[in-house]
Amino acid sequence: MCPGKPTKNMEKDFWKDSEAYWITCKKSNHSKSNQWICYRKTFRLFKLPKEAPLRIAVDSKYWLWLNGKLAVRGGQLKRGPTPMDTYYDLIDLHSYLLTGSNTIAILQWYFGKDGFSHINSGKAAMLLEGQFGEKKVVTDSSWKVKMNPAFGDTGKPFPNYRLPESNIRYNAERILEGWEKSNYDDSNWGSPKLLGKPGDPPWNQLVKRPIPQWDTSDLREYKNLIELALPRESTGEKLTCDLPYGAQVTPYLKIKSPRGKKIDIWTDSYEFAGALSLRAEYISRQGEQEYENFGWMSGHKVHYYIPEGVEILDLRYRESGYDVDFAGEFKCNDGLLNSLWEKGRRSLYVNMRDTYFDCPERERAQWWGDVVNELSESFYVLGRKSDLLTKKAINELIGWQRTDNSVFSPVPSGNWDRELPTQMLNSVGYFGLWTYYKYTGDESTIRAVYPGVKRYLSIWEQDPDGLVKKRDGGWAWLDWGENIDETALYNLWFYLALMGQRNMAQVCEINQDLPVIEGRMKELRDNFNKIFWNGTEYRSSDYDGETDDRVNALAVLAGLAEEEKFPYILTILQNHYHSSPYMERYVLEALFRMRRPLIAIRRMRERYRPMVEDWRSTLWEFWEGKEGSYNHGWSGGPAIMMGKYLAGIAPDCPGFKTYSVLPQMGDITYVYAKVSLRRGSINVEVQKWKNTFELQITSPPGTEATVGVPKKEFKTVDSILVNDTLVWEGGKTIRDLQGVSFGGETKYYYLFQVYPGCWIIKAQGIDLRP
């Protein structure tokens, strides 16, 4: 561990002396997937407590009712924080308790198989301890348990192997009517089998859930409800129901039906690129009935096949997802960019739940190439609860580090263990862990994971010329597409990883590591241009493909390309388009770093226009949508660029204690952006007209901003006013105001130091440029 005081974890030893047992149904077949188990416990309270903490862990999901009211829907995180351990939930149930008799009812869904986001414990069990005032409730032999006979498997086709979830078949003829209610008679239910105590294998150590419970809506009407013309009798056709945007949903139906009718439910993203997602089947009983699927699906449309002779009374859906506000904002005078920003946010949000993931249909997997882009985007488009998901991802990345010191993704995972070396370099480096720290100031997390970062980078070796020795790992993947200059990319990602490690070592005050890290960086830096720069481009001697835009962009971002090389690189980035949406983020960022916003914006428009003009609300995995997912987490890079560069908002000190607003607007004449912080929000509005440049900023408490008036917007600047007071004229400071002072000038900006408050900075001059 890094030096310093560890954060006190009040939950760390909670389970040490617990009287609770892991329990299961005696009829459960632990080797069988897709099992559903019901648990009940009745107890009495003589006095209502102000708080009623309940801790619960299951493999894999649960629904909890207290006195017939649903308190938790789809609780529990997929396993696990490490390959061995298990998460648990801590919830407060005081608002559901009654004086006198109380009944807890829990439905457990045991996945029973591994996936790219879950490692199976091999035991369909539950553990619970609740403290309700003076009354303690624990899982023990006094509970009532029964397998739920209504749930079962569909026939083929099954979901692809990456998903731990199974299709759900619900047979309403086998329903346990009212089993979750207090007055249900459970006298013929069995007692549970006791499997172990907290800390016992296969669940091992218990880690408190680090993210919120899901944000869940009421049942909602589909967009095309009127066209569905309900209620009506089905003629046996497929009904397509429109969602307002790509979302995580649980479909609902209400019907009047004869017994034994099978209804199929799936979404428009059920199948793509040969991979199947999840679907559901509902078998009707006689009479009027309603059903909401328990497993979530994603898509833009929900399809129902309802057999002939069934009266359709209502069709609805419930949206659920990660609990975070859509707190960021962006608007400009270009409608295409506005739509692109919003689609980026939608693509990000639909890929957040137990973890970040790449796509919500095929994999739901925490690939770290995606995560790096997602965590950066979250700072500009979402509220700060998203940081908890990023922190969880970081802890899992290092929590799954292997004994050979390698790291891999996706994790958690029970059926994938292959390292993608350049993705992992990206994850531990400048754009991954360091960016998280720069935007949050969360030093404790960096201190906790730095030793793992150091161990991982120690397995990378360098040749005598300083170049990194290529490691294939489990899959030497660098990007989708063609014309990939592997040797150069390996070296650039390695250098960026060392940059991140150096910065983290400085934060952790591990000064003894700095000479080694800086020495490795110097060896590569001293030789990189000699080996890869051929006079007009960066290219490896063993690479004979077209010029790789990725390589030339990363050379800029790594600081290895000197400014005199920029004209050549600009030509490359205007003529070569090989990067996938994953790597395009770095190409765009390089253009802004070289201070060429007009070229960056043009490339952004050109490359993303088909996605923006597509009817869907999300961005694609590839440039051609038909080739992959229509909801891909790595594709939202433009939303980062708009907040970070068009509006110019970025932290200088960790956690935005100090930050900059240095707009690069290109041909954009109006920008509004809002960035959510823990201490408030930064609001920036910039507009250009005639011979005037105006920037309005609202800066929150506890911050100091450096605000820049771009010199490139004018041939000459005559005067600058702050809140209608002249502060600068003819190249000289006239006066400072309380809360604002002139901070000098750089090659590109006139700078002002701005303290919390609302400020309008207006520059006037000659020849305002487009």
In three state form, how does the secondary structure of 64-103 look?
EEECCEEEEEEECCCCCCCCCCEEEEEEECHHHCCCEEEE
Residue burial 628-661, b: 16+ Cβ < 10 Å; e: rest? bbbbbbbbbbbbbbbbbbbbbbbbeebbbeebbb
* pLDDT digit string, tens, across residues 282-323: 999 999 999 999 999 999 999 999 999 999 999 999 999 999
Question: Given this chain, do its domains 216-321 and 329-646 carry the same CATH topology?
Answer: no
* Integer Cα distance of 203 and 197 in angstroms: 10
- In single-letter form, the type of residue at position 307 comes to P
What is residue 272's predicted lDDT score, i.e. its pLDDT?
85
* Integer Cα distance of 717 and 574 in angstroms: 31
Neighbouring-strand partners of residue 316:
221, 252
Q: Tell me: pLDDT of 626 over 80.
A: no
Q: Is-contact 368 423, C-beta < 8 A?
A: yes
What is residue 766's predicted lDDT score, i.e. its pLDDT?
85
The one-character DSSP state at 221 is E
- Reported as a pLDDT band with limits 50, 70 and 90, residue 2 is very low
What is residue 768's predicted lDDT score, i.e. its pLDDT?
63
The one-character DSSP state at 115 is B
Q: Look up tokens 């993203």; give the residue.
A: 269
Q: Tell me: pLDDT of 11 over 80.
A: no
Q: How many CA atoms lie within 13 A of 309 on its CB side?
A: 9
CATH for 654-766 is 2.60.420.10
* Integer Cα distance of 613 and 605 in angstroms: 11
* pLDDT digit string, tens, across residues 465-524: 999 999 999 999 999 999 999 999 999 999 999 999 999 999 999 999 999 999 999 999
- Reported as a pLDDT band with limits 50, 70 and 90, residue 1 is very low
Q: Is-contact 637 684, C-beta < 8 A?
A: no
- Reported as a pLDDT band with limits 50, 70 and 90, residue 625 is confident
Q: Is-contact 425 496, C-beta < 8 A?
A: yes
Q: Tell me: pLDDT of 555 over 80.
A: yes
Q: Tell me: pLDDT of 4 over 70.
A: no
* Integer Cα distance of 122 and 399 in angstroms: 20
Q: Tell me: pLDDT of 770 over 60.
A: no
* Integer Cα distance of 204 and 87 in angstroms: 10
Element (H, E) at 572: helix 566-575
CATH architecture for the domain at 216-321: Sandwich (2.60)
Of the candidates 420, 359, 429, the one whose C-alpha atom is nearest the C-alpha of residue 394 is: 429
- Superfamily grouping for domain 14-210: Galactose-binding domain-like (2.60.120.260)
Sign of the Cα torsion 539, 545, 547, 552 reads negative
- What are the extents of the domains in the chain? 14-210, 216-321, 329-646, 654-766
* Integer Cα distance of 618 and 268 in angstroms: 13
- Reported as a pLDDT band with limits 50, 70 and 90, residue 68 is very high
What is residue 767's predicted lDDT score, i.e. its pLDDT?
73
* Integer Cα distance of 303 and 312 in angstroms: 14
**Separation in Å, CA 222 to CA 269, 315, 614:** 17, 8, 20
- Reported as a pLDDT band with limits 50, 70 and 90, residue 10 is very low
- Reported as a pLDDT band with limits 50, 70 and 90, residue 12 is low
* Integer Cα distance of 29 and 44 in angstroms: 33
* pLDDT digit string, tens, across residues 381-418: 999 999 999 999 999 999 999 999 999 999 999 999 99
Please give the class, per CATH, of domain 329-646.
mainly alpha
User: What six digits make up the tokens of 324?
Assistant: 């975070």
* Integer Cα distance of 70 and 216 in angstroms: 12
* pLDDT digit string, tens, across residues 198-226: 999 999 999 999 999 999 999 999 999 99
Q: pTM for this one?
A: 0.97
- Reported as a pLDDT band with limits 50, 70 and 90, residue 715 is confident
Average pLDDT, the chain: 97
- Reported as a pLDDT band with limits 50, 70 and 90, residue 769 is low
Element (H, E) at 128: strand 126-132
What is residue 627's predicted lDDT score, i.e. its pLDDT?
79
Q: Tell me: pLDDT of 146 over 50.
A: yes
What is residue 719's predicted lDDT score, i.e. its pLDDT?
96
**Separation in Å, CA 326 to CA 380, 393, 619:** 10, 20, 18
* pLDDT digit string, tens, across residues 376-385: 999 999 999 9
